[in-house]
Amino acid sequence: MKLNERMKKLINILYENDGIISGDFLGSNLGVTSRTIRNDIKQINEMSKLIGCQVDSIVGRGYILNIFDIELFEESLESSEKEFTFLEKRLDDELNLIIKNTLSITKNTFQQIIDLLHISDSTFNKDLILLKSKIKNSEVTISKDKNNIVVFEGNETDIRGEIVYILYNNLNLDTLENNQNIIDIFGITKIQNIKNSLEKFIKETNYQLSDELFSLLLLHIAVGLHRPSVEYEPYKDARSKEVYKMIKNSLKSIDYIYKSNLTQDSWFYTNMFLTINNFYNKNIDNKIYSYLERKTIKILEQIQEETNIQFLYDSILINGLVLHLNGLIERKKFNIIFNNQNLNSIKHTYPLAYEIAIIYAKEISNIFNLNIDDNELDLITIHFGGSLERIKSHRVEPKNVVVVCGYGIAIGTLVKERLKNEFGNQFVFKAILNSNEVFNYDLSNIDYIFTTVPLDIPNHNQKIINVDIALTNTNIKDIEYHINYGETYDLLLELLSKDNFYKNVSVETSEEAIKYLASKMVENGSIDEENVQEILKREELSSTEIGNLVAIPHCFNTFSNKSAIGVMTLEKPIVWKKEKVQILFLIVLSSDKKAVWNNVFKLFYPVLTDEKAIKNIINQFNFDELINELLKARKED
């Protein structure tokens, strides 16, 4: 016998609350009846000698945790940890049962689902609200049919697409044949038969599909075996007719095995195949391309006006956005979700590109009435990220530098040549000076002072970079850091202020947290009152939680030149959107500082994703601790 996830959760609730907890409270949090709570406690107490604790019952009041061996207690909880919480596991189980109902594999009523999962009807009703919020397609909902069976409802194409998205999204690193959930729903034989049929089709036609797109098409066919036919008006061009004939023949073998009518949906699968195989981008009509190009350029004009970044001269970006938009429109016809997990970190790699992609996506959504999800947003971010890199490579201005050497002109020249070899045209060398001459030299237009001797030059110390005569790898990394982040790091320290630090604030929601911190920053004059709504609007477009108990609500200040960073810890973690958050870094940058947003984020990011650093900041929470962590991250970088 060992602790299951629910028992662990029960013990954790008692441990975290450190007192007497009622059975009703435990039942409500775990989504089970009081009878189940009593049974779980009985089993926990039977294992007490193995787990170092027992649950004592206080008549008329509830339960309390009694730990008599702390080492054994901690070991028993840690040894059976899983990737998901108990609530997430329960929601997954409920969702799978609803999918089976929708596919007519089972016909479990509301009451039968409750009985199968050993939960109360009130818990299932609450869970249904959570499940509905997880649905990507707003046209699909979960409801009970006339026989009280819980199913997905909506347009047939949307229902199929939503089910495929849910199943594919839960694959993780498994193949379809190795995913127990897929096997439980469809059976291994059915998956293998569809796979063999598709592989034969691809071999005969020489079409190439990535593993991801192959899996998506396979799942759509598996779902289609259990759903009514789709009403669909086919395209008339010759190429799609050619693919249609081949796909229809491929589906016949599946229809023969399962006595189904997939061939009735042949046009649906044909256009789906062409869409996910990028056919419509390869064969885009000139009129359609021109129309989409005009819309794209108009949006880029608006973005250029807001950000002062010259995107209109980037033909690669425009072409990429047009083709993405064309493919997006086609994907939405079939509710095909592009879900590449390799893109999950893209917004952290290119934070400015992500902000611009949000503006672009909002306009596209309004013009074409499209629901643009996070996966599509990541794809758009890639296009803007590439453009920003191209702009950056054309904008690099060489820095004016002097070399100071106390060992003579020859050594100074050697240092200069080493710098030229390492950094090419990034530096314009104005002079080689000794340690006395530098004090009489006009340094007002000099960006960096490379010196082999210690220097202290009032008003210019921030320009000084100490180097060895041999110019070591450490020197080179230090110089690269100064070039890329030096000015931003100084700005970061300037924006952080003790006046904008708040500790152990009690709030219930992300909106409350943002309003509290932002209003405090307005009160002390750090930001403008209008910024509060701008931050909330930005949060609506895409959540700013990044994991590790951290959220970074932010906006660009178009109302004045005020810029600031506020920091706030919460008394207890709250659920932001999907993740728990206990510390906020609220960032407001004026319009003239938009260009440094990438660097500001990159300087902060190593600290924000360092679990130990965040715990130190939350627990000790003082201004000096945050600065210390930033200094530490800079040194390690």
CATH code (residue 356): 1.10.1790
Which range is most confident: 294-298, 479-483, 633-637? 294-298
* CATH assignment of the domain containing 595: 3.40.930.10
Residue 517 carries which side chain, given as an amino acid letter? L
- The span from the CA of 526 to the CA of 447, in Å, is 29
Same domain, 458 and 584: no
In this prediction, residue 84 has a pLDDT band, given cuts at 50, 70 and 90, of very low
Residue 35 carries which side chain, given as an amino acid letter? R
Q: Is the pLDDT score of 375 beyond 90?
A: no
Same domain, 289 and 271: no
Q: Pick from 52, 82, 112: which residue ends a domain?
A: 82
Helix and strand element counts for the chain (H, E)? 28, 14
Least confident of 116-130, 173-187, 226-240, 538-552: 226-240
Q: Is the pLDDT score of 559 beyond 70?
A: yes
- The span from the CA of 627 to the CA of 521, in Å, is 19
Same domain, 204 and 61: no
Q: Which residue has the higher pLDDT, 595 or 458?
A: 458
Same domain, 188 and 135: yes
Residue 380: the pLDDT is 92
Per the prediction, the chain carries an average pLDDT of: 82
Q: Pick from 395, 423, 448: which residue ends a domain?
A: 395
Q: Is residue 594 part of a domain?
A: yes
Q: Is residue 598 part of a domain?
A: yes
In this prediction, residue 80 has a pLDDT band, given cuts at 50, 70 and 90, of very low
Same domain, 23 and 167: no
* CATH assignment of the domain containing 49: 1.10.10.10
- What is the rounded (10 degree) CA torsion for 615, 620, 623, 628? -60
Same domain, 123 and 255: yes
Q: Is residue 414 part of a domain?
A: yes
pLDDT tens digits, 182-204: 988 999 999 999 998 888 888 87
Q: What is the mean pLDDT of the segment spanning 432-448?
A: 91
Residue 9: the pLDDT is 84
Same domain, 578 and 537: yes
Q: Is residue 485 part of a domain?
A: no
Residue 7: the pLDDT is 87
Same domain, 348 and 417: no
Q: Pick from 353, 371, 395: which residue ends a domain?
A: 395
Domain that holds residue 123: 87-276
Query: Is-above-0.75 flag for pTM?
Result: no
Same domain, 546 and 432: no
Q: Is residue 606 part of a domain?
A: yes
pLDDT tens digits, 152-182: 999 888 899 889 888 887 776 567 888 888 9
* CATH assignment of the domain containing 441: 3.40.50
Same domain, 225 and 321: no
In this prediction, residue 82 has a pLDDT band, given cuts at 50, 70 and 90, of very low
Q: Is the pLDDT score of 411 beyond 60?
A: yes
Residue 112: the pLDDT is 92
153: phi > 0 → left, psi -120 to 50 → alpha, else beta; which?
A: beta
Query: What is the pairing mode between strands 464-466 and 448-451?
Result: parallel
Q: What is the mean pLDDT of the segment spanning 544-548?
A: 81
pLDDT tens digits, 251-292: 888 888 888 888 888 878 887 777 766 766 667 888 989 999
Q: Is residue 564 part of a domain?
A: yes
In the β-sheet with 427-433, what is the strand arrangement from edge to edge? 427-433, 399-404, 448-451, 464-466
Residue 115 carries which side chain, given as an amino acid letter? D
Q: Is residue 479 part of a domain?
A: no
Same domain, 546 and 585: yes
Total domains, the chain: 5
Q: Is residue 304 part of a domain?
A: yes
Same domain, 528 and 575: yes
- The span from the CA of 577 to the CA of 192, in Å, is 38
- The span from the CA of 240 to the CA of 279, in Å, is 9
Q: Is the pLDDT score of 542 beyond 60?
A: yes
Q: Do the beta carbons of residue 589 and residue 556 sit within 8 Å?
A: yes
